[in-house]
Amino acid sequence: KTGQRLIVFMRGIGGSHRSFEEEGLVADVWACGLSCDIVAPNAHFGYYGDRTLIDRLKKDVIDPAKAKGYREIWLVGFSMGGLGSLLYYMGYPDDIARVYLIAPFLGTPAFLAQIEAAGGARQWEPGEYDPERDWQRLLWHWLKKSIAGHPEKIVYLGYGANDLSAGGHKLLAELLPPQRVQVIQGGHDYQTFKTLWKNFLEQR
């Protein structure tokens, strides 16, 4: 244990929890001199599919970390892991100090098109929905209500301008302070992800 800060890397649907070390993202943290420990749980798609991700993450990672004395926990989510990071932060905001989203999955194109057609998330209204079944409306209702206009909720967003999901990223960017949003040239690939993460580390 090197300090009181823990970084939790949340993997995407491809690769594995080992990818962060293999692709050099862990080395980037050490290179910048950040005092922290790092963990990368194997939070694969199955945990999203059966809706056990948040419960397992809390019981297996977050609560034990707090018990060990970590005072500051960062969630760093890539692609699908970005969605997992947001869902955890929505459920347990007091557990997390910062959330870094790298090209997060934020919903289906058809759903995000509804928000865009409404003029953005601030104008969009979720209407009546079942929060147990409609995670997309639940997520965006929370983003609209609890993240937009709340700079104390420290959420960062980075994505490549040529990412196929950039439309959804732009919708989220409109809800965040501009200085916490980073857009670079690139697509949905490790090289873009690594550059965004390095940039975030430099400006932390």
| pLDDT tens digits, 170-179 | 999 999 999 9
Q: Among 191, 194, 165, 167, which residue's Cα sits nearest to residue 31? A: 194
Distances (CA, A) of 203 to 21, 32, 162, 197, 199: 21, 10, 23, 10, 6
Are the beta carbons of 8 and 73 closer than 8 angstroms?
A: yes
Share of the chain above pLDDT 90, in %: 75
Residue 120: pLDDT over 80: yes
**CA 105 – CA 129 distance, rounded (Å):** 21
Give the pTM: 0.92
Residue 121: pLDDT over 90: yes
| Model pLDDT, residue 136 | 94
**CA 139 – CA 46 distance, rounded (Å):** 20
Average pLDDT in the 111-116 region?
97
